[in-house]
């Protein structure tokens, strides 16, 4: 049985890793796309970095919670 500290550490590491991945995708989609490229009238960099990227990471975040976060009892008075 793994204790709450191991679980908490693992989850903290995952959260930071996902944030770093977000940073990476954010900078790639914002700065490596030619600034003049257009898609359906929208600047392509804007569409990718401010619309698609956040949507993708909200989904990834939900996936992270569902797959890897473990429900644990936090204290004596409540069980989950």
Partner 1 sequence: MNLELLIPLVVYLCAMLGLGFWLSRAPVSGSFVQDYFLGNRTMGGFVLAMTMVATYASASSFIGGPGAAYRMGLGWVLLAMIQVPTVWLTLGVLGKQFAHIARKVEALTINDMLFARYQSPLVVLLAALGLLAAFVATMVVQFIGGARLLETVTGLPYEGGLILFALTVLLYTLVGGFRAVVVTDAVQGVLMLLGTLVLLAGVLHAGGGAPAMFAQLAAIDPGLVQPRGPGGFLGMSFMLSFWVLVCFGVIGLPHSAVRCLAYKDSKAMHRGIIIGTLVGALLMFGMHFAGALGRALLPDLDVPDKVMPTLMLAVLPPIVAGLFLAGPMAAIMSTIDSQLIQASATLVKDLYLNYLSRTPPSPTAIRRASRLVTLALGLIVLWAALSPPEMIIWLNLLAFGALQAIFFWPLVLGLYWWRGNSTGALASMLTGAVCYGLLTTFGIKLLGLHAIVPSLLLSGLAYVVGSLSTPAPTASVRALFGRP
* Helix (H) / strand (E) containing 43: strand 42-43
**Site membership for partner 1, residue 15 (CB under 8 A):** yes
**Nearest CB to partner 1, comparing residues 1 and 41:** 41
Q: How far apart are CA 74 and CA 18, in angstroms?
A: 24
Residue 44 contacts partner 1 per CB under 8 A? no
- Counting contacts by CB under 8 A, is residue 52 touching partner 1? no
Judged by CB under 8 A, the residue of 24, 28, 31, 37 near partner 1 is 31
Q: Is 23 in the site for partner 1 (CB under 8 A)?
A: yes
Q: Which residues contact 72 (CB under 8 A, 6 or more apart)?
A: 4, 7, 80
């Amino acid at each position: 049985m793994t204790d709450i500290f191991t679980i908490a550490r693992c989850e903290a590491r995952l959260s930071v890793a996902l944030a770093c991945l977000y940073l990476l995708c954010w900078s790639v989609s914002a700065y490596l796309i030619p600034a003049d490229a257009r898609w359906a009238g929208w600047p392509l960099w804007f569409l990718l970095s401010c619309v698609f990227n956040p949507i993708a990471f909200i989904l990834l975040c939900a996936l992270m919670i569902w797959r890897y976060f473990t429900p644990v009892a936090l204290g004596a008075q409540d069980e989950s």
